[in-house]
């Protein structure tokens, strides 16, 4: 419950519950079966002294489609359209119920990539980034648009925004270890300028970018400032103000 | 795994796993026993057509002490002291491993209070607020220090900061339903001015404040702008720059 993607020692578990390792092994087989049946993932067991059990999140295509369809349906109401061609979705991202499912879906998409840390931006990226990191069993590092004394020292990068002015991102030097393998996660991508800024942050920290995952990608503008990315949903707003939200295919092989 | 404090129908579960309701009942008794043994909470089962099973988080005093002692130990290193008598703790709050445990501890402290929504402030409050809301099975509402078009319309309140100037908090009108019962959660409290601002936000939304929970409370200043609150840890920094972090007792009855 508390530690997906982290290895839990069999001996430790057997000790805590005062039962034999064989019994724990049987229970883990049952859990593995249940998780696979549910389309949520699997439990991998490594034998030996250094061994242990790890829950590996991996959403089945059916379960993924079911969850994302439901989110798309919630988003497709005209009263969610905000001035400037935006869609209101904060309620979904700040509902732990949905944020956990969306983070789990993103984590599943990158389950085979090498990832030490998830990177996101304040503030709507945080719940999605947090639950993605949770499912992957790694920490979260947050880029800020400003810096506060309690964040400690930071590295600053500048990047051009969609409107043409120059914006600033701060990354605390204690938050992101040098040369980490990072997964970039953000709530929404329109032109991709914020994600391009995050790529610059990654470069400053000599990080290897293992992937880019976003919750919502906008249909327009067609050309994005970042190349390869994985989105859960794609949205457009018709000229008469009706939102259309489509589930995106998972990366091939997932 | 995905829905603490939410009721799951027995019939639904039995259907999904193709087993009888009696068998699900037996499994739930076993789960209840395990959670209680582990000091994490219990599984409540309500019978009848409208019935179902709910996992209720409630950390045992021993488990709470164990987790918080470990966090206190991590925080008590001189290199965490920042200019201005602050302590660096972002790495803990942005580690899902620790944020989930801390949110679970706060949720346990307020398990008997009526709560419809958890309210916090950007940005370090978000992970703690999110995992507290997750454990309680309610959504999170976030006060911002600025407002963006994608947040939609907001209510603005002003409050005096510790330094004497006037600061501003924004709460999206779609984020917090009127007359909700709210739990205020924040990462740190020094003088309590931000929490006093959040109380004003609550007032504007005709909310009933069910409690105030913080991760870290500072020893100084002694006088806080808010009265009753529950902190997990209390910290002070000695004149020679050594931090001292103490586990706080849970509210009586927990």
Q: Is A232 helix (H, G, I), strand (E, B) or coil?
A: strand
- Residues A70, A131 within the same domain: yes
Q: Residues A164, A210: one domain?
A: yes
Return the pLDDT at A18.
55
For residue A47, what pLDDT is reported? Answer: 78
B95: chain A residues, CB-CB within 8 Å: 139-140
The answer to whether residues A170 and A220 belong to one domain is: yes
CATH number of the domain residue B155 falls in: 3.40.50.2020
Q: Are A99 and B138 in contact (CB under 8 A)?
A: no
What letter would DSSP give residue A80? G
Residues B137 and B226 reside in one and the same domain: yes
Of A7 and B142, more confident: B142
Q: Find the residue in B nearest to A171 (Cα).
A: B90
**Domain co-membership, A142 together with A191:** yes
Please determine, for residue B115, whether its predicted confidence score (pLDDT) is greater than 90: yes
Q: Does residue B17 carry a pLDDT above 70?
A: no
Pair A134, A72 in one domain: yes
**Which of A36, A60, A94, A95 is the best mutation test for B, with the most CBs of B within 10 A?**
A94
Does residue B101 surpass a pLDDT of 60? Answer: yes
Element (H, E) at A203: helix A193-204
CA distance A91 to chain B (A): 6
ipTM: 0.91
Pick the residue with more confidence: A85 or B157?
A: B157
Mutate to test the interface with A, among B4, B121, B150, B176 (most CBs of A within 10 A): B150
Residues B101 and B22 in one domain: no
Q: Are the C-beta atoms of residues A143 and A119 closer than 8 Å to each other?
A: yes
Report phi then psi at A158, rounded to 5. -115, 145
Question: Quick one: pLDDT at residue B188?
Answer: 96
**A2 part of a folded domain:** no
Tell me the pLDDT band of B16, cut-offs 50, 70 and 90.
low
- What number of H helices and E strands is found in chain A? 7, 12
% of chain B residues with pLDDT over 90: 69
Shared domain for A69 and A19, answered yes or no, is: no
What DSSP assignment string belongs to chain B? ---TTS-B-HHHHHHHHT--HHHHHHHHHHHHHHHHHHTSEEEEEE-STT-EEEEEE---HHHHHHHHHHHHHHH--GGGEETTTEE--HHHHT-HHHHHHHHHHHHHHTTTS--SEEEEETTTHHHHHHHHHHHHT--EEEEBSS--GGG-SEEEEEEE-TTSSEEEEEEETTTS-TT-EEEEEEEEESS-HHHHHHHHHHHHTT-EEEEEEEEEEESSSSS-SS-S-EEEEEEEE-TTS-EEEEEPPPPTT-
Residue A1 in any domain: the answer is: no
Asked if A230 and A213 count as a contact pair (C-beta separation under 8 A), the reply is yes
B183 in a domain, yes or no?
yes
Q: Are both B241 and B125 inside the same structural domain?
A: yes
CATH code where residue B48 lies:
1.10.10.10
Got the DSSP string for A97-153?
HHHHHHHHHHHHHTTTS--SEEEEETTTHHHHHHHHHHHHT--EEEEBSS--GGG-S
Of B2, B96, B123, the CB nearest to A123: B123
User: How far is CA A78 from each of CA A236, A245, B203, rounded to the nearest angstrom?
Assistant: 12, 12, 30
Q: In this structure, are A119 and A171 located in the same domain?
A: yes
Of B16, B96, B134, the CB nearest to A96: B134
pLDDT tens series, chain A, 254 aa: 677 887 776 666 555 555 566 666 777 888 888 889 889 998 888 877 777 888 889 999 999 999 999 999 999 999 999 988 889 999 999 999 999 999 999 999 999 999 999 999 999 999 999 999 999 999 999 999 998 889 999 999 999 998 889 999 999 999 999 999 999 999 999 999 999 999 999 999 999 999 999 999 999 999 999 988 999 999 999 998 999 999 999 887 54
Tens of pLDDT, residues B200-240: 999 999 999 999 999 999 999 999 999 889 999 999 999 98
Residue A86 domain boundaries:
61-247
Report pLDDT for A97.
Answer: 95
pLDDT of residue B11: 60
Res. B1 pLDDT band, cuts 50 70 90: low
Minimal CA–CA distance to B121: which of B63, B169, B177? B169
Residues B127, B99 contacting (CB under 8 angstroms): yes
pLDDT at A51: 73
Residue B182 placed within a domain: yes
């Amino acid at each position: 419950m508390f530690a997906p993607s982290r290895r839990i020692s069999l001996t430790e578990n057997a000790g805590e519950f005062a039962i034999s390792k064989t019994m724990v092994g049987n229970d883990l087989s049952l859990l593995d079966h249940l998780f696979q049946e549910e389309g949520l993932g699997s439990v991998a067991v490594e034998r030996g002294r250094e061994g242990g059990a790890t829950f590996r999140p991996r959403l089945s295509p059916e379960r993924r489609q079911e969850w994302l369809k439901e989110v798309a349906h919630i988003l497709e109401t005209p009263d969610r359209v905000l001035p400037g061609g935006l869609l209101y979705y904060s309620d979904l991202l700040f509902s732990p119920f949905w944020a956990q499912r969306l983070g789990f879906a993103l984590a599943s998409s990158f389950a085979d990539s090498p990832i030490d840390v998830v990177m996101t931006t304040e503030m709507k990226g945080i719940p999605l980034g947090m639950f993605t990191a949770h499912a992957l069993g790694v920490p979260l590092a947050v880029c800020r648009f400003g810096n506060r004394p309690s964040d400690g020292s930071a590295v600053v990068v500048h990047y051009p925004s969609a409107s043409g002015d120059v914006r600033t991102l701060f990354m605390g030097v204690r938050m992101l270890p040098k040369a980490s393998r990072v997964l970039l996660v953000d709530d929404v991508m329109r032109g991709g300028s914020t994600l391009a800024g995050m790529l610059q942050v990654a470069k400053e920290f000599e990080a290897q970018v293992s992937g880019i995952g976003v919750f919502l990608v906008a249909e327009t503008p067609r050309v994005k400032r970042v190349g390869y990315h994985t989105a859960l949903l794609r949205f457009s707003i018709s000229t008469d103000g009706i939102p259309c939200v489509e589930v995106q295919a998972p990366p091939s092989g997932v």
